[in-house]
Chains A and B, each alone.
Chain A
C-alpha cells in the first residue's frame, strides 16, 4: 500500500499533537504536586512558629500566674536540693512491674544485639513494649548519653562506612526500610541519626526504643543527634500524655543530653538544622548542653545578672515535665542567653540561596543562612561539608550551596502518601558521598502519577480549608472591607490579598483559587464560598460561633498550655484555673472574646459539675467537619 507523503505528514502531526498535549498534562500534574507540597510545608512551618510564640506566652504567664501556686513554690524551694539530679531508678523503673501475663518482648539488661532483633520482630508484629522496659531503656540511655561529649568524632574507612539518616518523625516503616536495605547497626555498620526521631508519625515511642536499644548495645557506633523535636515541650501533646508522666520526665532529661552533632573524618559536620554567621563550634563543644531544656523556655534576662553577681538571690522560674512551676535557687539550671541561641541556630536554621543571614521567619527560630555563611563557617573550622536534615525534600535529599550543604530526610510520604521519597547517605573518607532513596508504600505497586497527585492534592486542600475556616471571622471582615459595592464578589487579586494577609501563608493563591472558591464567568470570586462545605462542630449548642472558632484556631496551643498547667497530670484542670489561664491567654494573644462567654463555656464543660474540666475532652470537642466526607477524627489533621 503506497504511503503518500501527505498521510505521513498528517500522522506525524497527529503524533505531535498527542505528545504535546500529554507533556502539558504531565507538567500540570507536576505543578499540582508542587503546590500540594508547598501547602503542606507552609502550614507545617506556620504551626512550628505558632508553637515558638508560646514561649513568650509562657514568660508572660509566669509573671502573672506564679502567685496562684505560692505555697507550692515554697515547698519546691525547700525540696530542690534533694530533687535535683537525684532521680533514681526507684523513681522510675522499679515503680512499675511487668506482669506474668505480658506477652510482649522482654528485654534483658545489659542489652545485646539479640534484644535489638527481639524488638524489631515485636514491633513488626505491632506488639507494644511494656512501660517498665520503656522506662528502663530510657533511663539507661540517659545515663550513657551523659558521658558523651557535645560532638561525637567519627572516622570512616572502606571497611567501615558511615550511614547518615535524617528525620524519621515516628515513621517506623521507614526505619524498617533503611535497616532492610542497609543492614542493622553494628560495629562495622555505624549510623548517625540526625534528629527528629519523634513527633508527627504514630510510632515515636517504637523508633525511640529501637534507636536507644541500638545505642546501648553499640554506643560507639550508633550516634544520635538532637533535633528540634527532641524537646519535651514540643512533645507535650496528648500523644505522649498517653504514655504517662514518668516517660515525659525522663524524656525531658534524655533529650537535653542528646549530643548536638557529629563530626566525620574531621571534615564533615552533621547537625540537625543548620548554622548562623555567629556559629561558634568551639563554644558549642563546651556548653552544658543538658541545660538547653526546650526552645519554649528561653533564658530570662536575670540569668545573665546572676552570673556576675551571686549576692542577688534572684529566682528564675521554669516548667518541667510534671508541669510544676519550679523555682531555681541556683543559676546552674539555665544556659546564658548567647549559648542558648547558639544551640537554637543549630537545631532550627535552614539554608537558602540568598547570601547573608536572616531570621527564620518561616519557623520562628534560628535563621536562614546563605552560601557565603556556609563558606565562612566551614573555612573557619577547616570543614568541607555540612550535612543537615530538618526540611522535607521531594527526593529525600538535596544538595545546595555549591555542594557544601546536603539536606538528608528519611521519612518518606511525610505529608501524604506519595509526597516524597526518603533517603540516607553513605560516607567513606576519600570517596564522594553516596545517596540511597526509597519510598514506603502500602500498595504493592505504585499507583499511576495522576492518582498519587490527586491524593496529595486533596489532602493538602483539606488542611488548607481547615485553616481557612478557623479564621472565618477575620477573613469575612477583610473581604467585606474590600467589597465596596457589597456585591459579595471580589477580584481574584483582592481575594488572594486577603487570604495571604489574614492566614499569613505565602501560597500561590491564584493557582489554587479554583480549588478553594467559586469563580464566576467574569473571573470574579464569590468570597463567601471560601467557607462552603466545611464547618466547625460546636461542642455545645449554646457556644457562640466566634468563641468556637477561636478555640478551634488555638487548639494546639491550648493543648500544650493545659498540659503544662495540669500539675498532677490528671487530665483535669479546675474551672478556676481555666478562667485564670484564659484571661492571660486572651490578653496576650489579643483575643477579643467576652469573659462572660468563656465563663459560660467553662461552666458548660464542667460536665460533672464538680468544678473540674477534662481538657482533653474539651479540646477534642472542637473539630472540623468536611461536608462531603466522613466525620474527621477529632483533633487530628493529616500532619499527624
Chain B
C-alpha cells in the first residue's frame, strides 16, 4: 500500500515536470509541439536516447496519420514510463572520457580537428554539418587545431551544473 502511494506521488511529480518541459515548446499554447522539438524536450528531462531510439519514440507518440505535431496527451504516458524505468540514462563522465581515449589510439591526450570530423561525420550516427560546426566552435583549440578532450569534458561538465 505504501509503495503504491509513493509511486503515485512520484508519478504526479513526473507529470508536472514533463508538462513544464513540454509547455516551454508549446508556442501556440494548444498542447502540441512540433515533432522536431521532441528530441530536445526528452533530452532536457535528463534522458539520452540515441537518434535511433529517438526515432522509435517519435513513432510511438505520433498520430496514426503524422501531422508534424505531437500532442501532450500521447507524449505524457510514454515519457512518464521512460522516467519511471530510468531509461536512456545520461553518459557518465568516465565513459565519455574512455570513448575519446579509444578514438585516440596513439594516446596523445588529444584528437586533431580532422580526426574528430572524420569520426563524428562518418561513424556511429553521423553529425550533420551544423552539428559538426557547433561542436568544433567550442571544442577546438585554435592554436593547435585539436581537441584536448579531457579539458573539454571538464568544461562541459561544469557548464551543465
Contact = CB atoms under 8 A, between A and B. Distances in A.
Nearest to B102: A14
A148 interface: no
B47 to A, nearest CB: 8
A22 B131 contact: yes
Interface string A263-295: 000000000000000000000000000000000
Contacts of B82: none
A353 B29 contact: yes
Contacts of A509: 20
B69 to A, nearest CB: 9
A508 interface: yes
B52 to A, nearest CB: 9
Nearest to A34: B24
Nearest to B50: A20
Contact of A35 (B17, B24, B123, B134): B24
Given A31-B43, A353-B30, A353-B32, A18 B100 contact: yes
B122 to A, nearest CB: 8
Contact of A28 (B30, B134, B160): B160
Given A14-B102, A353-B29, A508-B21, A21 B44 contact: no
B141 to A, nearest CB: 13
Contacts of A511: 17, 20-21, 24, 44
Contacts of A31: 21, 24, 40-41, 43-44
B13 interface: yes
A144 interface: no
A448 interface: yes
Interface in B98-112: 98-100, 102-103
Contacts of A493: 12-13, 16
A38 B63 CA distance: 28
Contact of A14 (B27, B30, B100, B134): B100
Interface string B114-136: 00000110011111000100110
* Chain B CB within 10 Å, residue with most, of A14, A38, A353: A14
A26 B135 CA distance: 9
A502 B159 CA distance: 31
Nearest to B103: A14
B125 A16 contact: yes
Interface in B18-71: 20-21, 23-25, 27-30, 32, 39-44, 47-51
Contact of B91 (A21, A454, A510): A21
Nearest to B122: A15
B138 A449 contact: yes
Interface residues of B, number: 49
Contacts of B25: 34
A354 interface: yes
Q: Is the interface of B mostly helix, strand, loop or mixed?
A: helix
B137 A17 contact: no
A27 B138 contact: no
Interface in A335-353: 351-353
Given A28-B43, A352-B28, A18 B99 contact: yes
B145 to A, nearest CB: 16
B24 A30 contact: no
A58 B29 CA distance: 33
A508 B20 contact: yes
A508 B23 contact: yes
Contact of B29 (A19, A26, A34, A352): A352
A28 B46 CA distance: 8
B78 interface: no
Interface in A29-73: 30-31, 34-35, 38
Interface in A424-469: 448-450, 454
B21 A18 contact: no
Contact of A354 (B24, B29, B39, B119): B29
A235 B12 CA distance: 45
Given A11-B119, A17-B95, A450-B159, A23 B102 contact: no
A12 B99 CA distance: 10
Contacts of A10: 102
A264 to B, nearest CB: 25
A23 B123 contact: no
Nearest to A355: B30
Interface string B137-161: 1100000000000000000100110
A291 B41 CA distance: 48
A27 B96 CA distance: 17
Interface string A142-154: 0000000000000
Contact of B50 (A11, A16, A353, A398): A16
Nearest to B126: A19
B84 to A, nearest CB: 16
B96 A15 contact: no
A639 B120 CA distance: 40
A400 interface: yes
B10 to A, nearest CB: 11
A508 B40 contact: no
Nearest to B159: A450
Given A17-B91, A28-B43, A400-B28, A448 B17 contact: no
A591 B82 CA distance: 47
A25 interface: yes
Contacts of B23: 506, 508
Given A18-B120, A449-B137, A506-B23, 11 more contacts: A15-B103, A16-B124, A18-B96, A22-B127, A26-B134, A27-B42, A28-B44, A352-B29, A354-B28, A354-B30, A511-B20
Interface of A: 10-28, 30-31, 34-35, 38, 351-354, 368, 398, 400, 448-450, 454, 492-493, 496, 506, 508-511
Closest 9 CB pairs of A and B: A353-B30, A353-B28, A31-B44, A27-B43, A16-B124, A508-B20, A15-B124, A15-B123, A14-B99
Interface of B: 12-13, 16-17, 20-21, 23-25, 27-30, 32, 39-44, 47-51, 90-91, 95-96, 98-100, 102-103, 119-120, 123-127, 131, 134-135, 137-138, 156, 159-160
